[in-house]
A and B are shown apart, each in its own frame.
Chain A
Amino acid sequence: MTARALSVVLPLLMAPLAFAVIHRVKARFAGRQGKPLMQIYRDIRKCLGKGATLSRTTTWLFRAGPTINLAATLAALSFVPLGGLPAAVSFPGDIFVFAYLLAMGRFFTIMAALDTGSSFEGMGASREAVYSCLAEPMLFLALLALARHSGDLSLSGMLAAVSAGSWLTGAPVLALVTVALFLILLAENCRVPFDDPTTHLELTMIHEVMVLDHGGPDFAFIEYAQTLKLWIFAAVATSLLLPAASGSLVWDALWGLAGVFAAAAAVGVTESVMARLRLTRVPPLLAAAGAFAALALILVGG
Protein backbone atom coordinates (compact mmCIF):
# COMPACT_ATOMS: atom_id res chain seq x y z
CA MET A 1 0.00 0.00 0.00
CA THR A 2 2.75 2.39 0.99
CA ALA A 3 4.64 1.47 -2.17
CA ARG A 4 1.60 2.22 -4.35
CA ALA A 5 1.09 5.56 -2.62
CA LEU A 6 4.77 6.43 -2.94
CA SER A 7 4.76 5.86 -6.71
CA VAL A 8 2.22 8.71 -6.97
CA VAL A 9 3.29 11.00 -4.15
CA LEU A 10 6.96 11.10 -5.12
CA PRO A 11 6.25 12.36 -8.66
CA LEU A 12 3.74 14.89 -7.34
CA LEU A 13 6.42 16.37 -5.12
CA MET A 14 9.54 15.89 -7.22
CA ALA A 15 8.48 16.16 -10.88
CA PRO A 16 9.35 19.88 -11.07
CA LEU A 17 12.75 19.05 -9.59
CA ALA A 18 13.44 16.61 -12.43
CA PHE A 19 12.53 19.43 -14.81
CA ALA A 20 14.95 21.71 -13.01
CA VAL A 21 17.70 19.12 -13.47
CA ILE A 22 17.35 19.51 -17.25
CA HIS A 23 17.80 23.29 -16.93
CA ARG A 24 20.79 22.84 -14.65
CA VAL A 25 22.51 20.37 -17.00
CA LYS A 26 21.93 22.69 -19.95
CA ALA A 27 23.25 25.66 -17.98
CA ARG A 28 26.39 23.77 -16.97
CA PHE A 29 27.01 22.79 -20.59
CA ALA A 30 26.76 26.43 -21.58
CA GLY A 31 29.15 27.44 -18.81
CA ARG A 32 26.47 29.17 -16.76
CA GLN A 33 25.56 28.76 -13.11
CA GLY A 34 21.91 28.01 -13.88
CA LYS A 35 18.88 29.08 -11.93
CA PRO A 36 18.27 27.61 -8.46
CA LEU A 37 16.78 24.10 -8.51
CA MET A 38 13.80 25.31 -6.46
CA GLN A 39 13.02 28.18 -8.84
CA ILE A 40 10.42 26.19 -10.78
CA TYR A 41 8.45 25.56 -7.55
CA ARG A 42 8.52 29.31 -6.84
CA ASP A 43 7.37 30.06 -10.39
CA ILE A 44 4.43 27.70 -10.06
CA ARG A 45 3.49 29.15 -6.65
CA LYS A 46 3.72 32.69 -8.01
CA CYS A 47 1.47 31.82 -10.95
CA LEU A 48 -1.05 30.16 -8.64
CA GLY A 49 -1.31 33.36 -6.60
CA LYS A 50 -2.08 35.54 -9.62
CA GLY A 51 -5.35 36.29 -11.33
CA ALA A 52 -5.91 35.30 -14.94
CA THR A 53 -6.61 37.70 -17.79
CA LEU A 54 -9.06 36.21 -20.27
CA SER A 55 -9.59 37.39 -23.81
CA ARG A 56 -13.18 38.22 -24.74
CA THR A 57 -13.07 35.85 -27.73
CA THR A 58 -12.44 32.82 -25.51
CA THR A 59 -15.10 30.52 -24.12
CA TRP A 60 -15.21 27.97 -21.32
CA LEU A 61 -13.00 25.67 -23.41
CA PHE A 62 -10.07 28.02 -22.87
CA ARG A 63 -10.47 27.83 -19.09
CA ALA A 64 -11.10 24.07 -19.14
CA GLY A 65 -8.04 23.16 -21.28
CA PRO A 66 -5.28 23.42 -18.65
CA THR A 67 -7.43 21.89 -15.91
CA ILE A 68 -8.45 18.87 -17.98
CA ASN A 69 -4.88 18.47 -19.20
CA LEU A 70 -3.59 18.41 -15.61
CA ALA A 71 -6.34 16.01 -14.52
CA ALA A 72 -5.67 13.65 -17.44
CA THR A 73 -1.92 13.71 -16.78
CA LEU A 74 -2.49 12.97 -13.09
CA ALA A 75 -4.77 10.07 -14.01
CA ALA A 76 -2.15 8.73 -16.45
CA LEU A 77 0.48 9.05 -13.73
CA SER A 78 -1.42 6.61 -11.53
CA PHE A 79 -0.71 3.82 -14.07
CA VAL A 80 3.05 4.39 -14.04
CA PRO A 81 5.29 2.36 -11.73
CA LEU A 82 8.40 4.01 -10.31
CA GLY A 83 11.45 1.75 -10.42
CA GLY A 84 10.52 -1.25 -8.31
CA LEU A 85 7.45 0.43 -6.81
CA PRO A 86 4.17 -0.81 -8.32
CA ALA A 87 1.76 1.65 -9.92
CA ALA A 88 -1.23 2.90 -7.93
CA VAL A 89 -3.70 1.47 -10.45
CA SER A 90 -3.10 -1.46 -12.75
CA PHE A 91 -5.27 -3.79 -14.81
CA PRO A 92 -4.78 -5.74 -18.05
CA GLY A 93 -5.04 -3.40 -21.00
CA ASP A 94 -4.33 -0.24 -19.03
CA ILE A 95 -1.73 0.82 -21.63
CA PHE A 96 -4.60 1.97 -23.84
CA VAL A 97 -6.19 4.01 -21.05
CA PHE A 98 -2.74 5.39 -20.26
CA ALA A 99 -2.01 6.44 -23.85
CA TYR A 100 -5.43 7.92 -24.46
CA LEU A 101 -5.51 9.85 -21.18
CA LEU A 102 -2.36 11.59 -22.39
CA ALA A 103 -3.98 12.05 -25.81
CA MET A 104 -7.08 13.56 -24.18
CA GLY A 105 -4.98 16.04 -22.24
CA ARG A 106 -3.29 17.06 -25.47
CA PHE A 107 -6.60 17.30 -27.30
CA PHE A 108 -7.94 19.80 -24.77
CA THR A 109 -4.71 21.81 -24.85
CA ILE A 110 -5.13 22.02 -28.63
CA MET A 111 -8.80 22.99 -28.29
CA ALA A 112 -7.92 25.71 -25.79
CA ALA A 113 -5.27 27.02 -28.18
CA LEU A 114 -7.74 27.10 -31.08
CA ASP A 115 -10.30 28.80 -28.84
CA THR A 116 -8.17 31.94 -28.54
CA GLY A 117 -8.73 32.68 -32.23
CA SER A 118 -5.09 33.68 -32.63
CA SER A 119 -3.43 32.52 -35.84
CA PHE A 120 -0.15 31.82 -34.05
CA GLU A 121 -1.79 29.50 -31.58
CA GLY A 122 -3.71 27.82 -34.37
CA MET A 123 -0.41 27.16 -36.12
CA GLY A 124 1.07 25.66 -32.95
CA ALA A 125 -2.04 23.56 -32.45
CA SER A 126 -1.82 22.23 -35.99
CA ARG A 127 1.84 21.27 -35.58
CA GLU A 128 1.21 19.64 -32.22
CA ALA A 129 -1.67 17.63 -33.72
CA VAL A 130 0.51 16.42 -36.61
CA TYR A 131 3.40 15.36 -34.40
CA SER A 132 1.22 13.68 -31.84
CA CYS A 133 -0.53 11.77 -34.64
CA LEU A 134 2.90 10.48 -35.63
CA ALA A 135 4.13 9.83 -32.08
CA GLU A 136 1.08 7.90 -30.92
CA PRO A 137 1.45 4.83 -33.20
CA MET A 138 5.16 4.73 -32.34
CA LEU A 139 4.32 4.67 -28.62
CA PHE A 140 1.89 1.83 -29.21
CA LEU A 141 4.43 -0.10 -31.29
CA ALA A 142 6.96 0.20 -28.47
CA LEU A 143 4.40 -0.82 -25.83
CA LEU A 144 3.21 -3.72 -28.00
CA ALA A 145 6.77 -5.01 -28.33
CA LEU A 146 7.03 -4.86 -24.53
CA ALA A 147 3.69 -6.61 -24.15
CA ARG A 148 4.85 -9.41 -26.45
CA HIS A 149 8.11 -9.62 -24.55
CA SER A 150 6.51 -9.89 -21.12
CA GLY A 151 3.18 -11.47 -22.02
CA ASP A 152 1.40 -8.86 -19.90
CA LEU A 153 -0.95 -6.13 -21.09
CA SER A 154 -0.68 -3.80 -18.11
CA LEU A 155 1.98 -1.11 -17.95
CA SER A 156 3.03 -2.16 -14.44
CA GLY A 157 3.18 -5.82 -15.37
CA MET A 158 5.21 -5.39 -18.54
CA LEU A 159 7.74 -3.15 -16.83
CA ALA A 160 7.97 -5.42 -13.78
CA ALA A 161 8.68 -8.39 -16.08
CA VAL A 162 11.94 -6.73 -17.15
CA SER A 163 14.78 -7.74 -14.87
CA ALA A 164 18.55 -7.74 -15.09
CA GLY A 165 18.22 -11.33 -16.32
CA SER A 166 16.02 -10.37 -19.24
CA TRP A 167 18.79 -8.05 -20.47
CA LEU A 168 20.99 -11.13 -20.80
CA THR A 169 18.54 -12.99 -23.00
CA GLY A 170 16.66 -10.20 -24.78
CA ALA A 171 19.12 -7.29 -24.87
CA PRO A 172 18.45 -6.28 -28.53
CA VAL A 173 14.70 -6.07 -28.00
CA LEU A 174 14.98 -4.09 -24.77
CA ALA A 175 17.64 -1.77 -26.17
CA LEU A 176 15.54 -1.02 -29.26
CA VAL A 177 12.44 -0.32 -27.18
CA THR A 178 14.40 1.90 -24.79
CA VAL A 179 15.80 3.98 -27.64
CA ALA A 180 12.33 4.24 -29.21
CA LEU A 181 10.81 5.30 -25.89
CA PHE A 182 13.52 7.91 -25.34
CA LEU A 183 12.82 9.41 -28.79
CA ILE A 184 9.09 9.41 -27.99
CA LEU A 185 9.87 11.06 -24.65
CA LEU A 186 11.65 13.88 -26.48
CA ALA A 187 8.80 14.24 -28.99
CA GLU A 188 5.95 14.08 -26.48
CA ASN A 189 7.57 16.53 -24.10
CA CYS A 190 8.48 18.97 -26.86
CA ARG A 191 12.21 18.81 -26.21
CA VAL A 192 15.09 19.39 -28.63
CA PRO A 193 15.45 18.05 -31.38
CA PHE A 194 11.67 17.98 -31.92
CA ASP A 195 10.82 21.34 -30.44
CA ASP A 196 12.74 23.98 -28.54
CA PRO A 197 11.02 24.79 -25.24
CA THR A 198 13.05 27.97 -24.74
CA THR A 199 12.57 29.52 -28.15
CA HIS A 200 11.16 33.03 -28.30
CA LEU A 201 10.24 33.05 -31.95
CA GLU A 202 6.60 32.15 -32.44
CA LEU A 203 7.23 30.79 -35.94
CA THR A 204 9.45 28.02 -34.61
CA MET A 205 7.47 27.16 -31.49
CA ILE A 206 5.20 24.16 -31.28
CA HIS A 207 4.08 23.55 -27.72
CA GLU A 208 5.01 26.91 -26.24
CA VAL A 209 3.00 28.87 -28.79
CA MET A 210 -0.16 27.00 -27.83
CA VAL A 211 -0.01 28.23 -24.25
CA LEU A 212 0.98 31.83 -24.95
CA ASP A 213 -2.42 33.23 -23.92
CA HIS A 214 -2.68 31.35 -20.65
CA GLY A 215 -1.74 33.14 -17.47
CA GLY A 216 -1.97 32.86 -13.72
CA PRO A 217 -3.26 29.59 -12.25
CA ASP A 218 -3.94 28.18 -15.73
CA PHE A 219 -0.29 28.59 -16.65
CA ALA A 220 0.77 27.03 -13.35
CA PHE A 221 -1.39 24.00 -14.20
CA ILE A 222 0.20 23.77 -17.65
CA GLU A 223 3.73 23.97 -16.26
CA TYR A 224 3.01 21.41 -13.57
CA ALA A 225 1.32 19.02 -16.03
CA GLN A 226 4.34 19.34 -18.30
CA THR A 227 6.74 18.34 -15.53
CA LEU A 228 4.50 15.39 -14.63
CA LYS A 229 4.41 14.26 -18.26
CA LEU A 230 8.20 14.33 -18.44
CA TRP A 231 8.29 12.29 -15.24
CA ILE A 232 5.85 9.72 -16.68
CA PHE A 233 7.91 9.06 -19.80
CA ALA A 234 11.22 9.16 -17.92
CA ALA A 235 9.93 6.62 -15.40
CA VAL A 236 8.71 4.27 -18.13
CA ALA A 237 11.91 4.49 -20.19
CA THR A 238 14.29 4.10 -17.25
CA SER A 239 12.48 1.22 -15.57
CA LEU A 240 13.44 -0.70 -18.71
CA LEU A 241 17.03 0.42 -18.60
CA LEU A 242 17.52 0.11 -14.83
CA PRO A 243 15.29 -2.73 -13.68
CA ALA A 244 15.02 -2.86 -9.89
CA ALA A 245 13.87 -5.70 -7.71
CA SER A 246 15.61 -5.35 -4.39
CA GLY A 247 12.44 -5.95 -2.40
CA SER A 248 13.24 -3.11 -0.03
CA LEU A 249 10.87 -0.16 -0.28
CA VAL A 250 13.47 2.53 0.32
CA TRP A 251 16.01 1.14 -2.14
CA ASP A 252 13.41 0.61 -4.84
CA ALA A 253 12.19 4.18 -4.44
CA LEU A 254 15.72 5.59 -4.47
CA TRP A 255 16.63 3.49 -7.52
CA GLY A 256 13.51 4.71 -9.33
CA LEU A 257 14.28 8.33 -8.47
CA ALA A 258 17.87 7.90 -9.62
CA GLY A 259 16.55 6.54 -12.93
CA VAL A 260 14.22 9.47 -13.51
CA PHE A 261 16.88 12.04 -12.67
CA ALA A 262 19.37 10.24 -14.90
CA ALA A 263 16.82 10.42 -17.73
CA ALA A 264 16.37 14.14 -17.06
CA ALA A 265 20.13 14.60 -17.20
CA ALA A 266 20.21 12.63 -20.47
CA VAL A 267 17.56 14.97 -21.91
CA GLY A 268 19.68 17.93 -20.79
CA VAL A 269 22.77 16.50 -22.49
CA THR A 270 20.79 15.77 -25.67
CA GLU A 271 19.52 19.32 -25.75
CA SER A 272 22.99 20.71 -25.22
CA VAL A 273 24.75 18.74 -27.92
CA MET A 274 22.27 19.07 -30.75
CA ALA A 275 20.13 21.71 -32.37
CA ARG A 276 16.44 21.63 -33.09
CA LEU A 277 15.63 19.87 -36.35
CA ARG A 278 13.95 21.63 -39.23
CA LEU A 279 10.21 20.98 -39.07
CA THR A 280 10.28 18.77 -42.17
CA ARG A 281 13.01 16.58 -40.66
CA VAL A 282 10.92 15.72 -37.59
CA PRO A 283 8.62 13.08 -39.16
CA PRO A 284 11.60 10.99 -40.41
CA LEU A 285 13.06 11.00 -36.88
CA LEU A 286 9.75 9.82 -35.45
CA ALA A 287 9.64 7.22 -38.21
CA ALA A 288 13.07 6.08 -37.02
CA ALA A 289 11.62 5.63 -33.51
CA GLY A 290 8.85 3.61 -35.12
CA ALA A 291 11.39 1.53 -37.04
CA PHE A 292 13.22 0.74 -33.77
CA ALA A 293 9.97 -0.29 -32.11
CA ALA A 294 8.81 -2.32 -35.13
CA LEU A 295 12.13 -4.11 -35.30
CA ALA A 296 11.83 -4.96 -31.60
CA LEU A 297 8.34 -6.31 -32.27
CA ILE A 298 9.67 -8.45 -35.14
CA LEU A 299 12.53 -9.80 -33.01
CA VAL A 300 10.34 -10.60 -30.03
CA GLY A 301 7.47 -12.08 -32.02
CA GLY A 302 7.25 -15.67 -33.18
Chain B
Amino acid sequence: MDMISLAHAAVVPVILANLALLASSRLVTCIRLVALQGAVISVTPLIFESGPLTVHTAVLCAVALGLKGVVFPQLLHRTLRRVVVRHEIEPYLGYPLSILLGILGLLASLWLAGRLGVPAASYRSFAAAFATILTGLLLIVTRKKAFTQVMGYLAAENGIFLLTAVLAPGGPLFIELAILLDVFVAVFVMGIAIHHINRQFDCIDTDRFCSLKD
Protein backbone atom coordinates (compact mmCIF):
# COMPACT_ATOMS: atom_id res chain seq x y z
CA MET B 1 0.00 0.00 0.00
CA ASP B 2 1.27 3.44 -0.79
CA MET B 3 1.15 6.35 1.60
CA ILE B 4 -2.05 7.88 0.30
CA SER B 5 -4.09 4.71 0.69
CA LEU B 6 -2.62 4.18 4.16
CA ALA B 7 -3.66 7.72 5.04
CA HIS B 8 -7.13 6.93 3.66
CA ALA B 9 -7.29 3.78 5.75
CA ALA B 10 -6.51 5.86 8.84
CA VAL B 11 -8.92 8.64 7.94
CA VAL B 12 -11.96 6.37 7.53
CA PRO B 13 -12.13 5.07 11.13
CA VAL B 14 -11.51 8.60 12.43
CA ILE B 15 -14.46 10.05 10.51
CA LEU B 16 -16.70 7.08 11.32
CA ALA B 17 -15.79 7.45 15.01
CA ASN B 18 -16.79 11.13 14.77
CA LEU B 19 -20.22 10.27 13.42
CA ALA B 20 -20.66 7.41 15.90
CA LEU B 21 -19.72 9.75 18.77
CA LEU B 22 -22.45 12.14 17.71
CA ALA B 23 -24.94 9.29 17.38
CA SER B 24 -24.15 7.21 20.48
CA SER B 25 -26.42 7.59 23.44
CA ARG B 26 -24.36 5.83 26.10
CA LEU B 27 -21.41 7.20 28.03
CA VAL B 28 -19.50 3.89 27.98
CA THR B 29 -19.75 3.68 24.18
CA CYS B 30 -18.51 7.25 23.99
CA ILE B 31 -15.44 6.46 26.09
CA ARG B 32 -14.63 3.45 23.89
CA LEU B 33 -15.11 5.43 20.69
CA VAL B 34 -12.85 8.25 21.82
CA ALA B 35 -10.22 5.70 22.91
CA LEU B 36 -10.44 3.91 19.55
CA GLN B 37 -10.18 7.16 17.66
CA GLY B 38 -7.24 8.23 19.80
CA ALA B 39 -5.48 4.89 19.22
CA VAL B 40 -5.86 5.21 15.44
CA ILE B 41 -4.76 8.82 15.46
CA SER B 42 -1.73 8.19 17.67
CA VAL B 43 -0.11 6.01 14.97
CA THR B 44 -0.70 8.50 12.15
CA PRO B 45 2.66 10.30 12.63
CA LEU B 46 4.25 7.06 11.38
CA ILE B 47 2.31 7.39 8.11
CA PHE B 48 2.97 11.05 7.48
CA GLU B 49 6.65 11.03 8.32
CA SER B 50 8.78 11.22 5.22
CA GLY B 51 11.93 9.17 5.26
CA PRO B 52 12.95 6.36 7.66
CA LEU B 53 11.48 5.86 11.11
CA THR B 54 13.11 8.03 13.77
CA VAL B 55 13.29 7.48 17.52
CA HIS B 56 11.45 10.76 17.95
CA THR B 57 8.34 9.60 16.06
CA ALA B 58 8.40 6.15 17.62
CA VAL B 59 8.49 7.61 21.15
CA LEU B 60 5.72 10.08 20.35
CA CYS B 61 3.48 7.34 18.90
CA ALA B 62 4.13 4.98 21.79
CA VAL B 63 3.38 7.63 24.44
CA ALA B 64 0.28 8.85 22.59
CA LEU B 65 -0.98 5.29 22.10
CA GLY B 66 -0.46 4.47 25.75
CA LEU B 67 -2.22 7.61 26.96
CA LYS B 68 -5.08 7.83 24.48
CA GLY B 69 -5.69 4.11 24.05
CA VAL B 70 -5.17 2.81 27.60
CA VAL B 71 -4.78 5.42 30.35
CA PHE B 72 -7.57 7.85 29.40
CA PRO B 73 -10.29 5.21 29.03
CA GLN B 74 -9.18 3.66 32.35
CA LEU B 75 -9.35 7.01 34.14
CA LEU B 76 -12.71 7.82 32.59
CA HIS B 77 -14.15 4.42 33.42
CA ARG B 78 -13.02 4.86 37.01
CA THR B 79 -14.63 8.28 37.21
CA LEU B 80 -17.80 6.91 35.70
CA ARG B 81 -17.90 4.14 38.30
CA ARG B 82 -17.41 6.54 41.20
CA VAL B 83 -19.92 9.06 39.98
CA VAL B 84 -23.21 7.25 40.00
CA VAL B 85 -25.06 8.86 37.13
CA ARG B 86 -27.51 7.64 34.57
CA HIS B 87 -25.39 6.19 31.82
CA GLU B 88 -27.24 8.01 29.13
CA ILE B 89 -26.18 11.14 27.38
CA GLU B 90 -28.70 13.92 27.61
CA PRO B 91 -28.31 16.05 24.52
CA TYR B 92 -29.68 19.52 23.96
CA LEU B 93 -29.64 18.68 20.28
CA GLY B 94 -31.20 15.43 18.99
CA TYR B 95 -28.98 12.70 17.58
CA PRO B 96 -30.10 12.96 13.92
CA LEU B 97 -29.49 16.70 13.96
CA SER B 98 -26.08 16.18 15.61
CA ILE B 99 -25.09 13.70 12.88
CA LEU B 100 -26.28 16.11 10.22
CA LEU B 101 -24.18 18.87 11.79
CA GLY B 102 -21.23 16.45 11.93
CA ILE B 103 -21.55 15.75 8.20
CA LEU B 104 -21.88 19.48 7.51
CA GLY B 105 -18.72 19.99 9.59
CA LEU B 106 -16.92 17.40 7.45
CA LEU B 107 -18.04 19.13 4.25
CA ALA B 108 -16.96 22.50 5.67
CA SER B 109 -13.55 21.03 6.54
CA LEU B 110 -13.18 19.67 2.99
CA TRP B 111 -14.05 23.09 1.65
CA LEU B 112 -11.56 24.72 4.00
CA ALA B 113 -8.83 22.27 2.97
CA GLY B 114 -9.51 23.20 -0.64
CA ARG B 115 -9.40 26.92 0.15
CA LEU B 116 -6.17 26.69 2.14
CA GLY B 117 -4.43 24.83 -0.67
CA VAL B 118 -3.45 21.82 1.42
CA PRO B 119 -1.33 19.44 -0.73
CA ALA B 120 -3.32 16.62 -2.32
CA ALA B 121 -1.59 13.87 -0.31
CA SER B 122 -2.77 15.24 3.03
CA TYR B 123 -5.98 16.89 1.80
CA ARG B 124 -8.41 14.38 3.29
CA SER B 125 -6.40 13.85 6.47
CA PHE B 126 -6.47 17.60 7.06
CA ALA B 127 -10.23 17.62 6.52
CA ALA B 128 -10.69 14.67 8.89
CA ALA B 129 -8.56 16.37 11.54
CA PHE B 130 -10.50 19.60 11.29
CA ALA B 131 -13.82 17.73 11.30
CA THR B 132 -12.71 15.92 14.47
CA ILE B 133 -12.00 19.26 16.18
CA LEU B 134 -15.42 20.53 15.12
CA THR B 135 -17.05 17.33 16.41
CA GLY B 136 -15.34 17.80 19.75
CA LEU B 137 -16.56 21.38 20.01
CA LEU B 138 -20.07 20.28 19.00
CA LEU B 139 -20.05 17.63 21.75
CA ILE B 140 -18.94 20.21 24.32
CA VAL B 141 -21.67 22.65 23.33
CA THR B 142 -24.64 20.36 22.78
CA ARG B 143 -24.41 17.80 25.60
CA LYS B 144 -25.66 18.35 29.12
CA LYS B 145 -23.37 16.29 31.30
CA ALA B 146 -19.97 17.45 32.44
CA PHE B 147 -18.76 13.99 31.50
CA THR B 148 -19.58 14.34 27.83
CA GLN B 149 -17.79 17.65 27.78
CA VAL B 150 -14.62 15.81 28.73
CA MET B 151 -15.30 13.48 25.78
CA GLY B 152 -15.68 16.47 23.49
CA TYR B 153 -12.45 17.95 24.82
CA LEU B 154 -10.63 14.66 24.13
CA ALA B 155 -12.09 14.38 20.63
CA ALA B 156 -10.94 17.92 19.88
CA GLU B 157 -7.48 17.04 21.20
CA ASN B 158 -7.45 13.97 18.90
CA GLY B 159 -8.18 16.31 16.00
CA ILE B 160 -5.37 18.67 16.96
CA PHE B 161 -2.94 15.76 17.26
CA LEU B 162 -3.89 14.56 13.76
CA LEU B 163 -3.61 18.11 12.45
CA THR B 164 -0.02 18.39 13.77
CA ALA B 165 0.82 14.98 12.30
CA VAL B 166 -0.50 16.12 8.91
CA LEU B 167 0.82 19.67 8.76
CA ALA B 168 4.06 19.51 10.75
CA PRO B 169 5.47 15.97 10.62
CA GLY B 170 8.54 15.70 12.79
CA GLY B 171 7.79 18.75 14.92
CA PRO B 172 9.66 19.29 18.21
CA LEU B 173 9.23 16.20 20.37
CA PHE B 174 9.18 17.91 23.74
CA ILE B 175 6.34 20.26 22.73
CA GLU B 176 4.14 17.39 21.63
CA LEU B 177 4.97 15.36 24.74
CA ALA B 178 4.26 18.41 26.89
CA ILE B 179 0.84 18.78 25.25
CA LEU B 180 0.12 15.10 25.89
CA LEU B 181 1.12 15.58 29.52
CA ASP B 182 -1.19 18.60 29.74
CA VAL B 183 -4.07 16.56 28.36
CA PHE B 184 -3.29 13.79 30.81
CA VAL B 185 -3.37 16.20 33.75
CA ALA B 186 -6.53 17.78 32.36
CA VAL B 187 -8.36 14.46 32.18
CA PHE B 188 -7.17 13.65 35.68
CA VAL B 189 -8.29 17.00 37.07
CA MET B 190 -11.59 16.89 35.22
CA GLY B 191 -12.27 13.46 36.66
CA ILE B 192 -11.77 14.84 40.17
CA ALA B 193 -13.78 17.95 39.34
CA ILE B 194 -16.70 15.86 38.08
CA HIS B 195 -16.50 13.80 41.26
CA HIS B 196 -16.68 16.93 43.38
CA ILE B 197 -19.49 18.46 41.37
CA ASN B 198 -21.39 15.23 41.79
CA ARG B 199 -20.82 15.12 45.55
CA GLN B 200 -21.79 18.74 45.97
CA PHE B 201 -24.89 18.83 43.82
CA ASP B 202 -25.87 15.14 43.42
CA CYS B 203 -25.73 15.45 39.66
CA ILE B 204 -23.35 16.50 36.91
CA ASP B 205 -25.79 18.45 34.79
CA THR B 206 -24.07 21.66 33.76
CA ASP B 207 -27.55 23.09 33.29
CA ARG B 208 -28.01 23.52 37.00
CA PHE B 209 -24.99 25.81 37.27
CA CYS B 210 -27.18 28.57 35.90
CA SER B 211 -29.35 28.49 39.01
CA LEU B 212 -26.42 28.79 41.44
CA LYS B 213 -26.67 31.64 43.90
CA ASP B 214 -24.32 32.89 46.56
Which residues does A use to contact B, with CB under 8 Å? 168-173, 175-176, 284, 287-288, 291-292, 294-295, 298-299, 302
* CB neighbours of A291 from chain B (8 A): 16, 19, 99, 103
B195 at the interface (CB under 8 A from A): no
* CB neighbours of B19 from chain A (8 A): 288, 291
* CB neighbours of A294 from chain B (8 A): 103
* CB neighbours of A292 from chain B (8 A): 16
8 Å CB contact of A176 from B2, B12, B123: B12
B8 touches A173 (CB 8 A): yes
From B9, which residue of chain A is reached at the shortest CB distance? A172
B23 at the interface (CB under 8 A from A): yes
Q: State the Cβ distance, B165 to closest chain A Cβ, in Å.
A: 18
From B99, which residue of chain A is reached at the shortest CB distance? A287
What's the dominant secondary structure at chain B's contact region? helix
B110 touches A298 (CB 8 A): yes
* CB neighbours of A169 from chain B (8 A): 1-2, 5
A288 to B15, CA, bound (A): 12
B106 at the interface (CB under 8 A from A): yes
A225 to B9, CA, bound (A): 38
Query: Can you sample 9 A-B contacts with CB below 8 Å?
Result: A172-B11, A284-B23, A284-B95, A287-B99, A295-B12, A299-B8, A299-B11, A299-B12, A302-B123
From A300, which residue of chain B is reached at the shortest CB distance? B8
What per-residue 1/0 map shows which CB atoms of B1-21 lie under 8 Å from chain A? Answer: 110010011011001100100
* CB neighbours of B23 from chain A (8 A): 284, 288
Given A170-B5, A171-B9, A295-B16; 14 other pairs, CB 8 A cutoff: A168-B5, A169-B5, A171-B1, A172-B5, A175-B12, A284-B23, A291-B19, A291-B99, A291-B103, A295-B12, A298-B106, A298-B124, A299-B8, A302-B123
* CB neighbours of B110 from chain A (8 A): 298
Q: State the Cβ distance, A45 to closest chain B Cβ, in Å.
A: 46
Which residues does B use to contact A, with CB under 8 Å? 1-2, 5, 8-9, 11-12, 15-16, 19, 23, 95-96, 99, 103, 106, 110, 123-124
A51 to B1, CA, bound (A): 61
* CB neighbours of A287 from chain B (8 A): 96, 99
B96 touches A172 (CB 8 A): no
Contact status of A171 and B124, CB under 8 A, knowing A176-B12, A284-B23, A298-B110? no
A294 to B1, CA, bound (A): 23
Contact status of A284 and B5, CB under 8 A, knowing A176-B12, A298-B124, A299-B11? no
Q: State the Cβ distance, A88 to closest chain B Cβ, in Å.
A: 34
* CB neighbours of B11 from chain A (8 A): 172, 299
Q: State the Cβ distance, B193 to closest chain A Cβ, in Å.
A: 33
B15 touches A172 (CB 8 A): no
A168 to B4, CA, bound (A): 11
A172 touches B12 (CB 8 A): yes
B124 touches A299 (CB 8 A): yes
* CB neighbours of B95 from chain A (8 A): 284
A90 to B96, CA, bound (A): 38
Contact status of A172 and B8, CB under 8 A, knowing A284-B96, A291-B19, A302-B123? yes
From B5, which residue of chain A is reached at the shortest CB distance? A169
Q: State the Cβ distance, A193 to closest chain B Cβ, in Å.
A: 16
A295 touches B96 (CB 8 A): no
* CB neighbours of A171 from chain B (8 A): 1, 5, 8-9
Q: State the Cβ distance, B149 to closest chain A Cβ, in Å.
A: 24
* CB neighbours of A170 from chain B (8 A): 5, 8
* CB neighbours of B103 from chain A (8 A): 291, 294
* CB neighbours of B12 from chain A (8 A): 172, 175-176, 295, 299
